[in-house]
């Protein structure tokens, strides 16, 4: 929210938070997470709809607990995420492990913690069956449909390494029955950052078609991928229409093939808009060609712009709402030429000492950060209306030194 040219997060001024906790700093607004969760669940009126939050988007323990209290489960993609979810208090039945290129050791870990495994390949299915016959599994299907905001995040269709192709249903059944495995779930995840409903429904059509041949299903999981508008001109997904159509499709499937729970695994949709990265401008470099706005962090903290060419709005927190008069490049402090948060961005006059808020970074921001250039990761704080609390302390160089022998 912007009031009197000042950016607020919840009811607190961004500049007050930066002064107290320092920069670079990730700040999340808990009310936004709750609002997103509730709007999603409210718009899907199918008899049993379950949200399994994809915690790769943001695995902060406090955020996991917020989602747990809202009733969410967890989509975990590594033993570490399974462990973290258990630590956050999720029961094992509320976690689904969807690994890719999974080792026997990883399967053992997940199995020992009573977490259901979502099988990603025929090879994994056989290995699992040999080691754990007479048990329950879920299977990830590639429905021959993919979509996403960038080629790197398309996870369905012929070029994708994920899942078992929808046409291999008979083989899946044959192997499963050989080891007496009960397939209780079918899953797809076609990609990420999708703002149009069509690819979802094409994927769902294919998945439900495959599902007809499986008689023990308790749930069908349509994955995550719901996009958010990062650019001002982008339109959000029409959740009401999406929810109505989804509910209708599942209700009609249930009528003819028996009731199955509908699962979704949103990551970005729930948390992206809740997060802001605060970074301080320390250098304004004007050359005959460009104006470089130099900040106190870089792609070590937020890699989406350089990795996907992703757009994030940037607000000058202490000059929000001021007239935008100059074209600038907002860059980080990392020793690579690609280290930019924005290029050719029209912004207000910026001076050294100004505070920038990089918006919509609650998903795949901190969780994709690194120690590149031997820089410690930022701290994370949570705002709940007018209260601010630290939910991950700032890393130090000493923390990073700990691993060396």
CB of 191 to ligand LLP, least distance (A): 7
Judged by CB under 6 A, the stretch of 103-111, 173-181, 186-194, 313-321 that binds ligand LLP is 186-194
- H or E segment and range at residue 20: helix 14-21
SS3 357: strand
Window of 18-26, 238-246, 260-268, 324-332 that interacts with ligand LLP by CB under 6 A: 260-268
Residues linked to residue 118 through DSSP beta bridges, in sequence order? 138
User: Which two structure tokens, joined as six digits, stand for 124?
Assistant: 């994994």
Residue numbers 54-73 binding ligand LLP by CB under 6 A: 54, 56-57
Fill in the DSSP letter of residue 80: H
Q: How far apart are CA 93 and CA 39, in angstroms?
A: 24
Residue with tokens 């995420």: 81
The nearer residue to ligand LLP, 29 or 155, going by C-beta atoms, is: 155
Q: Which of 10, 156, 225, 294 binds ligand LLP (CB under 6 A)?
A: 225
Alpha helices in 273-392 (DSSP H): 304-308
The least distance separating ligand LLP from the CB of residue 287, rounded to whole angstroms, comes to 31
Residues 344-373 that bind ligand LLP (CB under 6 A): 363-364, 368
**Closest listed residue to residue 226, CA positions, set 262, 274, 273, 269:** 269
* Region from 63-71, 259-267, 334-342, 390-398 binding ligand LLP, contact rule CB under 6 A: 259-267
Is 215 among the catalytic positions? no
Binding of residue 226 to ligand LLP (CB under 6 A): yes
Phi then psi for 362, rounded to 5 degrees?
-70, -20
Nearest distance from residue 333's CB to ligand LLP, in Å? 21
> Helices in 179-271 by DSSP H: which ranges?
198-211, 239-257, 268-271
Q: How far is the CB of 122 from ligand LLP (least distance, A)?
A: 18
Only one of the segments 103-111, 126-134, 217-225, 318-326 lies at the binding site for ligand LLP (rule: CB under 6 A); that segment is: 217-225
Secondary structure of residue 369 in the 3-state scheme: coil
Q: Which residues contact 60 (CB under 8 A, 6 or more apart)?
A: 28, 366, 380, 391, 392
Which among 53, 46, 85 has a CA at the least distance from the CA of 70? 53
DSSP structure class, residue 11 = T
- Range 264-293, binding ligand LLP (CB under 6 A): 265-269
| Structure tokens, 135 | 């048990």
> Residue 223 interacts with ligand LLP (CB under 6 A)?
yes
Number of residues that bind ligand LLP (CB under 6 A): 24
**How many CB atoms sit inside 10 A of residue 359's CB?**
18
Question: 312: Cβ–Cβ under 8 A, 6 or more apart, which residues?
Answer: 230, 302, 304, 305, 341, 342, 358, 359, 360, 361
> Which pair of structure tokens corresponds to residue 207?
């998945």
Site for ligand LLP in 100-139 (CB under 6 A): none
Q: Where does this chain touch ligand LLP (CB under 6 A) — which range of 8-16, 218-226, 248-256, 314-322?
A: 218-226
* Interaction between residue 294 and ligand LLP (CB under 6 A): no
Binding of ligand LLP by 224 (CB under 6 A): yes
Neighbours of 100 (CB within 10 A): 14
For the bound state, the minimum distance from the C-beta of residue 169 to ligand LLP, rounded and expressed in Å, comes to 20
Question: What does the alpha-carbon distance between residue 180 and residue 30 come to, in Å, rounded to a whole number?
Answer: 44
Please report whether residue 189 would count as binding ligand LLP according to CB under 6 A: yes
Q: How far is the CB of 380 from ligand LLP (least distance, A)?
A: 17
Residue 193 binds ligand LLP (CB under 6 A): yes
User: Does residue 98 touch ligand LLP according to CB under 6 A?
Assistant: yes
**Contact residues for ligand LLP (CB under 6 A)?**
54, 56-57, 75, 98, 153, 155, 189, 192-193, 223-226, 265-269, 304, 308, 363-364, 368
Catalytic residues: 335
């Amino acid at each position: 929210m912007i009031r009197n040219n000042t950016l607020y997060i919840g009811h607190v001024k961004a500049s007050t938070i930066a002064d107290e906790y320092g920069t670079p700093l990730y700040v999340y607004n808990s009310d936004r997470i709750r609002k997103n969760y509730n709007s999603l669940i409210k718009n899907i009126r199918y008899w049993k709809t379950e949200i399994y939050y994809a915690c790769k988007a943001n695995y902060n323990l406090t955020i996991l607990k917020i989602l747990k209290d809202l009733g969410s489960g967890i989509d975990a993609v590594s033993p570490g995420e399974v462990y973290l979810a258990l630590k956050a208090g999720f029961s094992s039945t509320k976690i689904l492990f969807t690994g890719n290129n999974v080792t026997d050791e990883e399967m053992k870990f997940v199995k020992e913690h009573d977490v259901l495994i979502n099988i990603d390949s025929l090879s994994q299915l056989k290995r699992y069956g040999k080691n754990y016959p007479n048990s329950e599994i879920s299977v990830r299907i590639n429905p021959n449909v993919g979509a996403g905001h960038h080629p790197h995040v398309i996870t369905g269709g012929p070029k994708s390494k994920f899942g078992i192709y929808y046409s291999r249903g008979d083989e899946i059944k044959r192997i499963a029955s050989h080891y007496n495995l009960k397939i209780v779930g079918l899953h797809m995840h076609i990609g990420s950052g999708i703002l149009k409903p069509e690819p979802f429904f094409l994927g769902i059509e294919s998945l439900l078609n495959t599902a007809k041949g499986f008689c023990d299903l308790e749930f069908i999981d349509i994955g995550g991928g719901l996009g958010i508008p990062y650019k001002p001109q982008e339109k959000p997904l029409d959740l009401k229409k999406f929810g109505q159509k989804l509910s209708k499709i599942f209700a009609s499937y249930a009528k003819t093939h028996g009731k199955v729970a509908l699962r979704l695994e949103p990551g970005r949709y729930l948390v992206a808009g809740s997060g802001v990265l605060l970074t301080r401008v320390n250098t304004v470099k004007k050359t005959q060609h460009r104006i470089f706005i130099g900040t106190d962090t870089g792609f070590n903290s937020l890699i989406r712009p350089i990795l996907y060419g992703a757009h994030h709005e940037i607000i000058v927190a202490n000059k929000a709402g001021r007239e935008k008069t100059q074209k600038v490049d907002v860059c980080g402090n990392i020793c690579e030429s690609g280290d930019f948060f924005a290029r050719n961005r029209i912004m207000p006059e910026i001076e050294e000492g100004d505070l920038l808020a990089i918006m919509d970074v609650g998903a795949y921001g901190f969780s994709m950060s690194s120690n590149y250039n031997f820089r410690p990761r930022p701290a994370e704080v949570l705002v709940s209306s007018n209260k601010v609390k630290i939910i991950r302390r700032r890393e130090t160089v000493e923390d990073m030194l700990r691993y060396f022998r």
